[in-house]
Every structure is written in C-alpha cells, then in structure tokens.
Structure 1
Amino acid sequence: MNWKKALKQTLLVMSFSAVLPAMAEVGFPEKEELTFGFIKLTDMAPIAIAYENGYFEEEGLYVTIEAQANWKVLLDGVIDGRLDGAHMLAGQPIAATIGYGTKAHIITPFSMDLNGNAITVSNDIWKKMKPNIAKNSDGKPVHPIKADALKPVVEEYTEAGKPFKMGMVFPVSTHNYELRYWLAAGGIHPGYYAPHKGDTSGQLDAQAFLSVTPPPQMPSTLEAGTIYGYCVGEPWNQQAVFKGIGVPVVTDYEIWKDNPEKVFGITAEFAEKYPNTTIRLTRALIKAAKWLDDNNNANRPAAVKILSQSNYVGADYDVIANSMTGTFEYEKGDKRAVPDFNVFFRYNATYPYYSDAIWYLTQMRRWGQISEDKPDDWYKDVAAKVYRPDIYAKAAQSLIDDKTIDAKHFPDFATETGFKKPQQHFIDDIVYDGSAPNAYINKFSIGLKQGDKL
C-alpha cells in the first residue's frame, strides 16, 4: 500500500469516528477509488456538484470524473469495468437488462433529474411552421406547440420526394421517445424498429426519419442541413438560439410534465460486491441534487459556473444559464419563465420509481424495440430488476438518521410502492398508469398495440 492511500485510510477512520452512530451503520466503503463517466450535458450536474462540493470525499470516496465520447462508449465502459458508474440515459440500464442492443444487468439506485430536454427545428422549418401556430395578444406563439403545426411541412417534403430527417441522441434515449411521442401526437409517424427482422433503423413506415447524433454535435449537424430538427438536452437547444441557426419549439416539460430523464447507472455486480460504496455514492448524489434545488434554485448560478468549465459541459456560461436558472428561450428574444425546466431534487426527482422504468418499456414496445407482447407482470418484474428504490431508501434513511436531510424531503419509505399516481400531464392528454402498461399502450392511435406484429 502506498503512503497516499494509507494516509487516506487513516483520515477516513478519523472522520468516521467523529460521526453519529447512525452514520457508522452504513459501513466503510469497500472500494474507495472510483471513476465515473458522463456526457457533456447540464443534467450531469449532480456528479459535478458531488465532486466539487466534496460530497464524495465526505463519504470516503475518491472519484475521478471523465467525459465520454457518446452514450455507447459510456455504457460499454460501465459494462467492461473501465467505469465504475455513469450518468446514463434512463433507457440504457433497462435496454441492457432485457438484452436490447447490449446484454448486461445494469441497475440504478438514483434518478438524476426531471425534464431538461427540448425539440429544436431549423430556421427554415420554423418559418414554414409559424403560419400553423396560434399567436398570443403580444404576437408571440401560443405554447405548447404541437406537432400538428409540423405535419403540413413534413407532408410538403414527402410530396417533393425529400425525407424529413430529425436527430435524437440514442435509440433508447428519453429524447428518442419524447420526439416520437410528440410527432405521433401530431399525426406524424416516426417509424418502427424490427429487431427480429434485423432492422434496428427505427424507420419502418416512417414519415419523419429519426437518426442518432451525439448531443454536442446537434447544432452543427442542424446548421449543415443534414437534419431539420432534433431532440436533445441542454445546453444544445439554447446553443441553436445563441448561434441563430434554429428555434426550440417545445420542451419535454410541455410534452410530459416532470418526466424522468437521466439516471446513475452501475452494474448489478458492482452493487452486490460493494454495497457500502453503493450506498455512499448514492448519499453523495442525493446531497448534490438537494444543493442544486435548494432555496428556489439559489445555487444555480454557482452550478452554471462549474458546468461551463471545459472538463464538464464546456459551453458558455450564458448558454447554460439560459435554462438552468429557471428560464427558457424559444425564438430569439422570446424568453419565458420555466422554473422547473431542470429539476434535480424536488418532487422526489431522485427516487427511482418503478413506474418511470415501465413507461420506457411501454415506449420500447410501442415502437417495436420489444418485438412481442409481454404481460403486465413482465413490465413490473423488469422494472424491479433495474430500478432499486431499496438501495435509495437505505442511503436516504441514513441521511435522515444523521440529520443531514430532513425526512420531509423524501417519500414515506414505509408506505411507498414505487408507483406514481396516474399521470395526466401529457401533450395529448392520454393518462399514464404504470400499473397497467398494456392498457396504456392500447390507447395510442399510432404505434403497436397488444397483439400487433411487424
């Protein structure tokens, strides 16, 4: 053992001896030196803040944080052990566990945020959409803007023999499902996947053709004319506004109010091998998330300053601040208050709800990534394998016991089922009940239903 590691362990023992007995019940971390991955998006903030504010070190964890080139590289890094954990698309642990794309048992003890995405179109497409959009008395567009306004534009391109191309960040990303949801709600078919036929393009029967573009490349790809619009997280929608190349038309908050976004992913093997480490990293992330939302987002300017560093998101302070500090700019000059555009802690944002996982599974089935019907119990069983509120509850309860965070900020763990009440705030007014996934799938006019096969 080298002297630095010996010193770290000595300091760790000294610090632990000073804390309350409830804290000691968590136990020493079995693995202290960790490497976490992330993609350059503002919703990686809990990891950056846990590092910069010393929350990882408070838990005896010595963390290295590394930006990853894309979501596949990030996922592969967690699976092969190069990364101990990572900022992940919520669909990634679910898809890996059921074997879509890559087979690996990935879990999440921590949901990283709510909302945070938007759909942006090029200036040319926006000009074509505007005549189809109602105006407020001040002449500005009425929001939310539905895809109904885009449908005549897509039809115009189709009639001219030009495929209408749009970008999203990954086949199992929230962005893919949100973009598809918005398009389909406006009568535009975003296409099917047919993995059982070897077709993973997601473009079968499509009227709008969706393909993968890494988040930081979205604005330049739009500017080049390769795609006509995209769905991505911040700051890459606001970047289009600042560069004058596109207009965000709808936020995911308007598509599905307070929708779950990213998660922190680790392998099931890691959690089993290092249970104390897992609880401690969850504690650190919970503390970071709370700090981000404390006092009506009072800490956001400080967070933006951190995120603007090149080793984190690396976008200009003003670009990141445009959404992180409670506003969102649509058309240039049309800045509106959206205090919940980024939510990191309030509304139990960090709790890994089974119903959130099930929603992703319903969309995988709706668009053919899950080729065959599954009974309702299958959806619930998969959710329970991937989303781990039991780990979260242990971490949260220890924070309550050592008086770090008050119990009022968490669900009542004695009665919590992991299922949210039926959710009504969708752009198409369809109600989602996570306890009845097949009934939910059958409500949509566009998409596979029970019994459908491609």
Structure 2
Amino acid sequence: MSKLATKSFKQLCQIALAASALIFTSASAEEIGYPEKEELKFGFIKLTDMAPIAIAYEKGYFEDEGLYVTIEAQANWKVLLDGVIDGRLDGAHMLAGQPIAATIGYGTKANIITPFSMDLNGNGITVSNEIWKQMKGNIPKMDDGRPVHPIKADALKPVVDSYIEQGKPFNMGMVFPVSTHNYELRYWLAAGGIHPGFYAPHKGDTSGQIDAQALLSVTPPPQMPATLEAGTIYGYCVGEPWNQQAVFKGIGVPVVTDYEIWKDNPEKVFGITEEFAKKYPNTTIRLTRALIRAAKWLDENDNANRPEAVKILSKSEYVGADYDVIANSMTGTFEYEKGDKRAVPDFNVFFRYNATYPYYSDAIWYLTQMRRWGQISEDKPDTWYKDVAAQVYRPDIYMKAAQSLVDEKLMDASDFASLAGEDGFRSPQTHFIDGIVYDGQKPNEYINKFSIGLKHGDKI
C-alpha cells in the first residue's frame, strides 16, 4: 500500500476511535480559522440531488461559515469538470466517478478529491412506451394486475434480441462515460444477459460499444425525455426529475430504480481540486460543514422538510422542473407506469445511513466497474484500488468538519454515532439485483464473479 494510502488509513483510525467513544476533539470555529477564500462559485447540473448545495445556500449555512457563494448551473458534466480543474469553479456537484476517473487519468487528468458524498440512490431507468409494450408481457403480475418489482432486464432481453435479428441497433442513453448511470445501466443490462459493450482506451476506442448488444451513448440529463420522444434512443438511465418527467409527458415508463439495482448506492459527490484543499484548508472544512448541515435538514423528521426543498428546487435557477414532477420522487414516492405510484421512502437519501460520509469502498466499487467494462485496460492488484480510493475520498476532512459541528452544538454527537469504529469500508453489501455480494476489501475477487464483463487477466 502506498504511503499516501497508509497515512489516510491511520488518520481514519484515529478519527474512528474518537467517534466510537463519542468524544469529539475541540475543533471550534475559532480553531478551524477564518476561511482563506470567502467568495466562491460552485457548479451543478439540473438534478434533484444537487439539493444540499441549494439548501446550504438558501438556509444560510454557507454564510454561517463566512462563505459568500454563487451557484451556477452547467451545460453538461464535462463543462462542469473542466470548470473545477481550470479554477473557473471552486467546487461542484459531481458524478462520483468523475474525481476517480480524473485521478487515474481516464479522460481528463487532474487531482480531484471529495470530502463529502452528496446522496444515496436517486436514479432510474426509463424505456419508451413502445419498448414497454414489448417488455410488459415478459413481466410477472401482482393480483391487482400491476407489474412485480423489481423488473429485471430479463424482460428486455427478448426485445433486444429481436432488434438484433432485424439488424436494428438498440440505442440507450446515459449521462457520462464515468457516471453512476452508465455503470448502473450496464449492471442492470448485464444481469439480464444483455451485453452493454466494452471500452478499449489503449486502442483509442472510447465508444464503450465493443461486442455490445445494447448501444449506450451520452445524453445530458435535461435532454433525456426529448431524445426519447424523438426516437433517437429507446431508453435511458438518469437522475430525477427526468424519469418522472417522462411519466408526466406520457412518453415513457420508468422500469427500475437504482435503489432496486443496488440498495442505498452512492450517487453524487462534492468535488474540489486537491490544490484547493491544500491552499484553503479552513475554507474546505467550512464548506463541508455547510453541506453536512444541509443534508441533515433534508432528511430530518422523516423528510418533513422535503416539500419546502421541492419548492426551492423547482426554481428556474436550480432544477427548474414543475413542483409536482420533482415532488413525485423527492417526497417518498415514485411513479412507474402512469398511475402506478408506489411508496419509495428512500428513493432520495441525503443524510441517513451515513450518506454524506465518503467511504473508500464506494470509490472502489466505481473502479471495479471501470475495470469490468475496459475503461481500466489492465489488471491492478487490490492494493492499487485501495490506494486510489484513499487519494480521492477524504473522510479525514469530513470527520474534522463533523467534530467541529458537534463541538459548537450545531449538530449532536448522535448524528454521527453510526460512524463509530468506521474504517472506511462498508460491510459486504448484498442488496444487488443479481444477488452478487460486493466486498470492497476484495475488488478482484468481486470482478471475477460476473458472467459478463472482463475478469482478472482478461484483455480486449
């Protein structure tokens, strides 16, 4: 293991001991120090999971930290990442895979870190009405005639096979090559026997369509419904509110949520450059404090604040979708086929289940999927995965922010009690749609479990 990773794990162990005894070392606002940079600009994409940034702004949490923040929507994920790298943006709502991919040099090379995980769950896979008609007969029904959930890609496979037999490409959309959406869509398809294709960057092929039965391509989130309606794609994986928008417009049917693909999966992170964190350590801790408080507000009292949050997010400067569209998922329900609205209280989680804590094992899962689909061209030892995770995910910064919030009585020690003894690795996770268990301590063993995808020793 690298010196960097070793240092990170030592820091984390020290923090975990303090948390396990619920003893928070003195780290008051005075000791943290004034922010070295007070005026900041943060970027985001128009998705409901940018909510912690909006709430930290609207509720004055940034100002409480002496931070004067401007929030700016970005055209797409690449523009957003480039803005953080070149300093136009001080930080941003990011796809969890972006800091990881940048750090290992897949796409743009840059040292991006995250001290804060923004949410769990929040995505869905939607298909067009025509594809839904063809799938529906392959799905078991409940007594009331509604489909049994979760709907597996097994129901889609005969449809894809028929397109292949007719020589027609089966096109689907996702938001970015290193997005959760790409990996979740690929995971769901492969679990149903549909090959989503390989990448071969060492050969100059970054299409991700080698050997593919379903052809995946990039579409920005707000454009997903229109692209589906135009018939350019037959389905997509995206965050809210763009699955529910398809229901409201009557152009598509969400068939599965990411909660059903991988229960309580990590989704977005707040990304900053490593240089920013080193140059402005007080500012980094303070912005993390504000985001933690916002996440807590979003989930407290059994989501009692969600209606107010939806009202804020519906503003044009944030997500800009209709209140009812955003509320359909943000307030604990999710509508699949029109009229089939079901309770999904954890569709959006911002603070519960340690949602804000940057787990090393979460980073490692993304790396395993990059390797599985060829974005990482060669085998890596387990220690490499852990080293990269420790370089990008920074629980040491998070816990210093948390300790200071408790010290100032802005939050309670009980808010972080479940982090007692935390080593940065979740217990082996069993709630995947295909039943495969993920243990972040054993990435290569995990990769070898899949019937579709590269295994240890494989090359394209």
Question: What do the CA deviations read for 1:142-200 (whole angstroms, capped 9, x no partner)?
Answer: 00000000000000000011010000000000000000000000000000000000000
Residue of structure 1 equivalent to 2:281? 275
1:195 maps onto 2:201 in alignment: yes
Structure 1 segment 17-416 matched on structure 2, within 5 A: 22-411=28-417, 415-416=421-422
Structure 1 spans left out of the alignment, 5+ residues: 1-19
What CA RMSD, in Å, does the superposition of the two structures yield over aligned residues? 0.9
* Separation in 1, partners of 2:212, 2:61: 47
* Separation in 2, partners of 1:363, 1:190: 12
Superposition deviation, residue 22 in structure 1: 2.4
* Separation in 1, partners of 2:297, 2:203: 48
* Preserved contact between residue 173 and residue 224 of structure 2 (Cα < 8 Å): yes
Structure 2 spans left out of the alignment, 5+ residues: 1-25
Question: Which of 432, 435, 444 in structure 2 is aligned with 1:429?
Answer: 435
* Equivalent residue letter for 2:146: K
* Separation in 2, partners of 1:414, 1:269: 30
Question: What do the CA deviations read for 1:282-313 (whole angstroms, capped 9, x no partner)?
Answer: 00000000000010000000000000000000
* Preserved contact between residue 87 and residue 263 of structure 1 (Cα < 8 Å): yes
Higher RCO structure (Cα 8 Å, ≥6 apart): 2
1:451 maps onto 2:448 in alignment: no
Superposition deviation, residue 415 in structure 1: 2.4
Question: What do the CA deviations read for 1:292-338 (whole angstroms, capped 9, x no partner)?
Answer: 00100000000000000000000000000000000000000000000
* Equivalent residue letter for 1:140: R
* Separation in 1, partners of 2:409, 2:246: 44
* Separation in 1, partners of 2:143, 2:29: 57
SS at match of 2:242: coil
Question: What do the CA deviations read for 1:219-268 (whole angstroms, capped 9, x no partner)?
Answer: 00000000000000000000000000000000000000000000000000
* Preserved contact between residue 308 and residue 315 of structure 1 (Cα < 8 Å): yes
* Equivalent residue letter for 2:55: I
**Percent same amino acid among aligned pairs?**
86
Residue of structure 1 equivalent to 2:18? none
SS at match of 2:32: coil
* Preserved contact between residue 348 and residue 409 of structure 1 (Cα < 8 Å): no
* Separation in 2, partners of 1:283, 1:126: 44
* Separation in 1, partners of 2:426, 2:457: 27
* Separation in 2, partners of 1:90, 1:248: 23
SS at match of 1:433: coil
* Preserved contact between residue 151 and residue 187 of structure 1 (Cα < 8 Å): yes
* Equivalent residue letter for 2:124: A
Superposition deviation, residue 410 in structure 1: 1.4
Superposition deviation, residue 90 in structure 1: 0.1
* Preserved contact between residue 115 and residue 258 of structure 1 (Cα < 8 Å): yes
Q: State the number of aligned residues.
A: 435
* Preserved contact between residue 393 and residue 413 of structure 1 (Cα < 8 Å): no
* Separation in 2, partners of 1:120, 1:21: 46
* Preserved contact between residue 167 and residue 230 of structure 1 (Cα < 8 Å): yes
* Equivalent residue letter for 2:377: S
Q: So what's the TM-score if we normalise by structure 2?
A: 0.94
* Preserved contact between residue 118 and residue 270 of structure 2 (Cα < 8 Å): yes
Residue of structure 1 equivalent to 2:15? none
SS at match of 1:140: coil
* Separation in 1, partners of 2:400, 2:297: 20
Q: So what's the TM-score if we normalise by structure 1?
A: 0.95
* Separation in 2, partners of 1:115, 1:407: 25
Residue of structure 1 equivalent to 2:23? none
* Separation in 2, partners of 1:437, 1:116: 25
SS at match of 1:83: coil
* Equivalent residue letter for 1:287: R
Residue of structure 2 equivalent to 1:11? none
Superposition deviation, residue 21 in structure 1: 7.8
Question: What do the CA deviations read for 1:12-31 (whole angstroms, capped 9, x no partner)?
Answer: xxxxxxxx982311110000
* Separation in 2, partners of 1:326, 1:317: 14
* Equivalent residue letter for 1:250: V
* Equivalent residue letter for 1:160: Q
* Separation in 2, partners of 1:361, 1:310: 35
* Preserved contact between residue 354 and residue 418 of structure 2 (Cα < 8 Å): no
SS at match of 2:269: strand
* Equivalent residue letter for 1:48: A
* Preserved contact between residue 46 and residue 289 of structure 1 (Cα < 8 Å): yes
* Preserved contact between residue 35 and residue 66 of structure 1 (Cα < 8 Å): yes
* Separation in 2, partners of 1:47, 1:411: 24
| Farther-moved stretch of structure 1 (405-414 vs 53-62) | 405-414
* Separation in 1, partners of 2:195, 2:416: 40
* Separation in 2, partners of 1:218, 1:273: 38
Superposition deviation, residue 413 in structure 1: 5.7
* Separation in 2, partners of 1:110, 1:78: 16
